Amino acid sequence: MKAEGVKFSSDTDTEVVAHLIGKFYKGDLLESVKKTIPFLKGTFAIALIHRDFPDQIIAIAHESPLVVGIGTGEAFVASDPHAFAAHTREVAFLLSGEIAVVKADKLEVFDVTKGEIEKKTEKMHALLESASKGSYEHYTLKEIFEQPQTIRNALSGRFIQDYGTALFEGINFEVNELLSVERILILACGTSWHAGYLAAYMLEDRARIPVQVEISSEFRYKNPVVPAGTLAIAISQSGETADTLAAVRELKTKGVKVLAICNVEGSHLAREADASIFLKAGQEIGVCSTKAFTSQVVVLSLFTLLMARMRHMDKKEGQIFLEALQKLPDQVQEILDQSAKIQEIAKKYAHYENFFYLGRSYMYPASLEGALKLKEISYINANGYPAGEMKHGPIALINENCPTVALCGNKATFEKLLSNLMEIKARSGKIIAIAETCERGLEGIADDIIYIPQTIDEISGVLTTVASQLLAYYIAKERGAEIDQPRNLAKSVTVE
């Protein structure tokens, strides 16, 4: 285009699109947009206004979220329907290859190749208007403190105590389809991957189903072998994570059934999966995910229970599992009630620049999540490791300037973890232990201890993570970091 004399005023790819449309424009804006589309590569979502047509917006998306909101004498275009939830709940989700001509009182939708099509709108009853922080200093802290309620929401109406099993209205799989599952493939990124990793331990342990956990951005480039009898579980808070969507689309071409775990009804993931379970956690505004993670673990715990009870788990065992889940909201509240103590601990460690998070078994994924929270909002270099791997290299970094956060919520491996902590202590390492109140032996080893209520190993990661969230939050606050919107991060990663 430069060779044709076009002068660019920026380095953005968006400006290239505007010039392309201008090149083809001969008075028919829609036609010029159609001619431009074949020249665009990759994923995109575009909303444009032309000076000749100031009363309309043309919107088009390709494998990227774009939704039109229909109000009374007004219309909206956004990537997320929450953006206009205060004005309307009637929406139309644009699919790849669809072009919307949006006016205040009219919506026309065209297929790039087929012409005008009928586009049905739908009501989004679950949308929440933008929430205020209330009395909290940050949205992140507010969302941490919302977790007793969001866990209740995730559990509500999804179990039958008398039968010791779970029940999901959103899973439209036949019983024989679930019984025929021989292998589970979990796909996710970031915090959602940690929730999936924790669920993998649980599914193999309780349901006795082999589980493979993959980072979505890596999975689709490894020419994966996906045997018959595989159920894919795709996890994304927003339902718009580009890498996870791309992996799901590849699996769908192989005929694999996909179960979505997400928080947003109407998202691309929810619409493209064969079945969906929604977190019911409400809008999460803080970039660093908190309440979505614990809700994901709870939902995945219920799904584990469902699969286990359909196989070999007896009713009594299922009832015990459910009782533990039902205690979680009050147990999380007990940890939140310790926030002042955790804040004092955070003040002691806020000046350190390197941290280790250690755990064994179920606590390993929880250690990854704890380290990620500290990295995201305090900009401290924090790394999660299986405690047994410390002696295979990382212990070389232990000294008085590198504290260790030890997650001691796994009773089956507690003694071995204690041995690892003794090795750290012998090398002058500072130790913050997050442990159940019943565990003894830490008092002479850990410099500081955050006690959590006693629960079953499978869901102790929820409790240790809430403590880790508070620790990360208060360390970040001491350092003066931007907590709700950390640098270089986005809430929903919609590019690959």
- Quick check: 129 pLDDT over 80? no
161 and 240 share a domain?
Answer: yes
Q: Could you tell me if residue 412 is inside a domain?
A: yes
Burial class (CB in 10 A: 0-12, 13-18, 19+), 454: middle
DSSP letters, 312-362, are T--HHHHHHHHHHHHHHHHHHHHHHTTHHHHHHHHHHHTT-SEEEEEE-TT
Position 480 scores a pLDDT of 94
In a domain, 30, yes or no: yes
**Does some domain include residue 77?**
yes
Claim to verify: residue 290 and residue 384 sit in the same structural domain: no
pLDDT digits (tens, 9 = 90+) for 313-352: 999 999 999 999 999 999 999 999 999 999 999 999 999 9
Q: Which of 305, 332, 359 is a domain's end point?
A: 332
How far is CA 163 from each of CA 166, 312, 315, rounded to the nearest angstrom?
A: 9, 14, 6
Q: Clarify whether residues 317 and 293 are in a common domain.
A: yes
pLDDT in tens, 414-436: 888 888 899 999 898 999 999 99
- Which among 131, 129, 122 has a CA at the least distance from the CA of 68? 122
Average pLDDT over residues 215-236: 93
Domain count, the chain: 3
Give phi and psi for 459, each to the nearest 5. Answer: -115, 10
* Domain co-membership, 289 together with 356: no
Determine, yes or no, domain membership for 129.
no
Are residues 389 and 471 both part of a single domain? yes
* Single residue among 276, 304, 332 that ends a domain in this structure: 332
| Residue 131 within a domain | no
Residue bearing tokens 């589309």 = 37
Residues 192 and 284 in one domain: yes
Q: What is the rounded average pLDDT of the residues 232-244?
A: 94
CATH number at residue 28: 3.60.20.10
Residue 114 lies in a domain: yes
- Do 469 and 495 lie in one domain? The reply is yes
How many whole angstroms separate alpha carbon 194 and alpha carbon 367?
9
Instruction: Tell me the percentage of the chain whose pLDDT exceeds 70.
Output: 96
Residue type, 442: L
Tokens 């205690």 found at:
327
Burial 351-388 (b: 16+ CB within 10 A, else e): ebeebbbbbbbbbbbbbbbbbbbbbbbbbbebbbbbbb
* CA 50 from centroid of its chain's CA atoms: 37
- Select the more confidently predicted residue: 6 or 177: 177
Confidence class of residue 371 from pLDDT cuts 50, 70 and 90?
very high
Q: What pLDDT is attached to residue 369?
A: 98
Q: What is the structure's pLDDT at 128?
A: 57
CATH number of the domain residue 216 falls in: 3.40.50.10490
Co-location of 160 and 66 in the same domain? no
- Residues 483 and 430 reside in one and the same domain: yes
* Residue labelled with tokens 């590569």: 41
**Which of 86-95, 308-317, 388-397 reaches the highest mean pLDDT?**
308-317
The pLDDT of residue 490 is 66
Domain boundary among 332, 361, 383: 332
pLDDT for the residue 43: 82
pLDDT of residue 491: 59
Q: Which residues contact 481 (CB under 8 A, 6 or more apart)?
A: 377, 378, 379
Q: Answer yes or no: is 130 within a domain.
A: no
Of 292, 182, 291, 290, the C-alpha closest to 235 is 292
Residue 28 lies in a domain: yes
Nearest 5°: phi and psi at 126?
Answer: -85, 0
Residue 50 makes CB contacts below 8 A (sequence gap 6+) with 25, 29, 58
Residue 285 and residue 167 share a domain: yes
At 192 the three-state DSSP class reads helix
Question: What mean pLDDT is predicted for residues 354-367?
Answer: 95
Give pTM, 2 decimals: 0.88
CB neighbour burial string for 84-105, b if at least 16 within 10 angstroms, e if fewer:
bbeebbbbbbbbeebbbbbeee
Residue 5: predicted pLDDT:
66
List, for residues 155-207, the tens digit of each pLDDT value. Answer: 999 999 999 999 998 788 889 999 999 999 999 999 999 999 999 999 999 99
Residues 195 and 258 in one domain: yes
| pLDDT tens track for 259-290 | 999 998 888 899 899 999 999 998 899 989 99
**Residues 164 and 99 placed together within one structural domain of the fold:** no
Residue 4 has pLDDT above 80, yes or no: no
Cα radius of gyration (the chain):
25
For 71, the domain range is: 2-123
Kindly write down the DSSP assignment for every residue of 22-54, as one continuous string.
HHH-SS-HHHHHHHHGGG--S-EEEEEEETTEE
Q: What is the mean pLDDT of the chain?
A: 91
